[in-house]
A and B are shown apart, each in its own frame.
Chain A
Amino acid sequence: MFSVIQHYELELDANISDKALKQMLGQQLAKMPRRMDRLALLTLLLAVPFRGQLASNSGIYLAADYPSLGNMHSLLDTVIVQQQLPKPFEFINSVSNAASFYAAQMLALDGPNVFIGAGKEPWQPLTELAFADLQCHIVPEVLLIRCLQGKNQLCGQAVHLRSGHWQPTHWQFSDFATAPR
């Protein structure tokens, strides 16, 4: 079924500023994408360890409990409260899977790229999408990323999988993290 290549976890202070997140990322990237929101910054921090590890046609699958909260708050304030036009990139980030776009760009991937809204139980749906693509030979390998921003959290996990012979009991991060390598 699967072969777990690598996994990664990150837990940050929920009060950390976007500027500090950019600095953390800047220490690892020669060139920083512009106009990223907080969800994109967290996604990139979770994806950075996988640079150079994935074939270009690999799939990337991202789950998050919320859209980027700061971005959505700013949009509502600008458009509904102040009755102004939004900043173009705030709008684009809100209607697309911008965070996984930036991750794919950083990882030089041009395969499938899917975002799902899921907070409490993201690993089963993420793994189903990846399993379907692996099973149907759409992709050679997959990167699954989960981001949490709600309930005063800022954390996430990521897993790099290929097709293999290991069958997890549950499609959960804890199983992937303890899988034989």
Chain B
Amino acid sequence: MIPVYLSQFHLCSALGANLAQAVGRYAKGELPLPAPSLDRLQLPYLAAPADKLPLRTRLHNLIDDTLNSANLTAAECLLLVASTGLDVCLIEQKLQQGAPLDMALLPSFDSFSEQFDGRFNFAAIRLLNTACTSAANALLYGQRMLQAGLYRHVLVLAFEPPGQITLSGFNALELASRSGQYRPFHPQRDGLLLGEVYAAAILSAKADKAPIAELIGGYSACDTYNITTTAEDGSHIAKVMQLALQQAAVSIEDIALLKLHGTATLANDTAEQNGVLRLFGTNIPPLVVLKPYLGHTLGACGLSELALLFATLQQHTLPPLSYAKDASLPFSDTELSVEPKAIVMANFFGFGGNNASLLLRKY
């Protein structure tokens, strides 16, 4: 694979209204405080700072900011949208306001794309959904389409607004934390905290947009073992990580940091732990988990977590895991630093058998 360059990260999350705020808090190991969700379930939820702008205006502003900071026009870019919920929350709001539930209320995917068509002039717009690997796949396919010469730049837009269906869905699956403590790989973990996020970045074939990371390759595949969980023995996860290494022509000894998916659900943590042990054996690289800081941002986590990680690595060390000694994988209990040009492996997994592993180089 030919590396592509990631630049102009934008992030609005539970850690702050912008990426600089998030980096400052993450570097200090400052966890966001969950608040009860605004529905009747009142589950702990990691909301982004309140913004009175409608969702569409918020997304338009994010695109504007990203294009402007990269000094690009929309016409020069493919827009890849990664989200599991898109704007279903807007239908939820209409129903809550008393609109009757009618099939006509259900929007087509084209109607979502048309809002951007009317406002921007992108070379093309694609809506991509592979559950919680959506943004990871957007980055991978962005890289491959740049390499295939189909586009010059790719703008990846990844977001997950709060929605009742999502909150109640994870509650129905008994995967949502009730304690409000988000602790992947902790023996007393009690599930995930969902997080609200809006993120964007530019992928370019040339390093002319002040890149902060290189995407050097990766692999994404479907494990048909079960629609809700990947094989718990970690075999498919290990295979995907191995194929990612092959695609990027990198060996396991080259990995300076492994960003785990780490949802804090029993099935995912077990499968990922087994996959890591299968691939790395006793030579496990330094580990990091980011969901305690952002929440599980579902289809957007492939971009939101990389934005936080690489922007932090530019200026700071990474905070230790507070419960490193109790974790089921060998996390560091001291701060981590990563040298320039070091290679980071980043895992993302999701429902529907979606497993993805990306390899990036710190710029």
Q: Are chains A and B native binding partners rather than an unrelated pairing? A: yes
* A118 partner, pick from B96, B127, B145, B165, beta carbons under 8 A: B127
CB pair B127–A135 under 8 Å, yes or no, is no
Mark contacts of A28-66 with chain B using CB atoms, 8 A cut-off: 1 yes-contact digit, 0 otherwise: 000000000000000000000000000001001000111
A94 CB contacts on chain B under 8 angstroms: 165, 169
In the complex with contacts A86-B165, A92-B351, A95-B85, A115-B128 CB distance below 8 A: yes
Known contacts A86-B168, A118-B110, A136-B1; can you find 6 more A-B pairs with CB under 8 A?
A64-B109, A67-B109, A87-B172, A95-B85, A96-B84, A111-B221
Q: List 26 A-B contacts (CB under 8 A).
A: A75-B165, A79-B169, A81-B101, A88-B228, A91-B165, A91-B168, A92-B173, A92-B227, A94-B165, A95-B299, A96-B84, A97-B352, A110-B221, A110-B223, A112-B220, A112-B221, A115-B130, A117-B112, A117-B129, A119-B110, A120-B110, A125-B124, A128-B145, A132-B150, A136-B147, A150-B108
Task: Give the CA-CA distance A118 to B352 in the complex, in Å.
Answer: 19
By a CB distance below 8 angstroms, the chain B residues around A77 are: 101
Interface size, A (range): 35 or more
**A-contact 0/1 string along B104-137, CB 8 Å cutoff:** 0010111011000000000010111111000001
Check A138 for interface membership: any CB of B closer than 8 A: yes
- Decide yes or no whether A24 CB sits under 8 A from chain B: no
Which B residues are in CB contact (< 8 Å) with A57? 221
Q: Is the CB of B109 within 8 A of A104?
A: no
Q: Which residues of A contact B223 (CB under 8 A)?
A: 110
Q: Does A14 contact B (CB under 8 A)?
A: no
Partner of B298, one of A95, A110, A129: A95
Q: Are B227 and A66 in contact (CB under 8 A)?
A: no
Residue A133 at the B interface, CB < 8 A?
A: yes
- A121–B358 alpha-carbon span in the complex (Å): 30
List, in ascending order, chain A residues with CB within 8 A of B144's CB. Answer: 132-133, 135-136, 138
Cβ of A109 < 8 Å from any Cβ of B?
yes
A66–B108 touching, CB < 8 Å: yes
Contact A86-B169, Cβ < 8 Å, known A96-B130, A96-B352, A116-B127 = yes
- Return A25 CB to nearest CB of chain B, in Å: 17
A101 x B126 contact (CB < 8 A): no
A21 at the interface (CB under 8 A from B): no
CA A136 to CA B3, docked complex, whole Å: 12
The reply on A85 being an interface residue by CB < 8 A is yes
**A69→B106 contact, CB < 8 A:** yes
Contacts A116-B128, A119-B108 given; indicate if A79 touches B222 (C-beta within 8 A). Answer: no
CA distance A79 to B85 in the complex (A): 15
Task: Name the residue of chain B whose CB is nearest to the CB of A149.
Answer: B108
In the complex, whether A76 has a CB less than 8 A from a CB of chain B is: yes
Chain B nearest Cβ from A94, distance in angstroms: 7
A97 vs B127: C-alpha distance when bound (angstroms): 12
Q: In the complex the two chains form, is B227's CB within 8 Å of A98's CB? A: yes
Contact residue among A73, A86, A136, A150 (Cβ-Cβ distance under 8 Å from B101): A73
Q: CA–CA, A57 to B224, complex, Å?
A: 12
A101/B227 in contact, CB under 8 A: yes
Known: A88-B173, A101-B352, A128-B145. A117 touches B164 (CB 8 A): no
- Is the beta-carbon distance between A117 and B168 smaller than 8 angstroms? no
- For B113, the chain A residues whose CB sits under 8 A away are 117-118
* A105 to B219 Cα, complex, angstroms: 19
**Are A76 and B91 in contact (CB-based, < 8 A)?**
yes
Contact residues of B between 124 and 174, Cβ < 8 Å to A: 124, 126-131, 137, 141, 144-145, 147-148, 150, 164-166, 168-173
CA distance A117 to B84 in the complex (A): 11
In the complex, which residues 231-270 of chain B have their Cβ closer than 8 Å to any Cβ of chain A? 236, 247
Which residue in A75, A83, A105, A117 is a CB contact (below 8 Å) of B109? A117
Once A112-B222, A117-B109, A138-B247 are accepted as A-B contacts, the answer to whether A96 and B350 lie under 8 Å apart by CB is: yes
Interface residues of B in 281-296 (CB under 8 A from A): none
Q: Does B177 sit at the interface, judged by CB under 8 A?
A: no
Q: Which residue of B lies closest to A89 (CB)?
A: B227
Q: Which residues of B contact A131 (CB under 8 A)?
A: 148, 150
Find the A residue at minimum CB distance from B222.
A113
Instruction: Judge whether A65 and B109 touch: CB under 8 Å.
Output: yes
Chain A CB within 8 A of B95 CB: yes
User: What are the residues of chain A within 8 A of B227 when measuring CB–CB?
Assistant: 89, 92, 96, 98, 101-102
Which B residues are in CB contact (< 8 Å) with A135?
144, 147-148
Beta-carbon contact of A65 and B221 below 8 Å: no
With a CB–CB cut-off of 8 A, which chain A residues contact B110?
65, 117-120
- How far is it, in angstroms, between the C-alpha of A158 and the C-alpha of B91 when the chains are bound? 31
- Which B residues lie within 8 Å of A154 (CB)? none
The interface centre, meaning the residue of B109, B168, B220, B223 with most chain A CB atoms within 10 A of its CB, is: B109
Set of chain A residues within 8 Å of B52, measured between Cβ atoms: none
Q: Let me know if B354 is at the binding interface, CB within 8 A.
A: yes
Q: Which residues of A contact B350 (CB under 8 A)?
A: 96
Q: Are B108 and A101 in contact (CB under 8 A)?
A: no
Neighbouring A residues of B88 by C-beta, 8 Å: 72
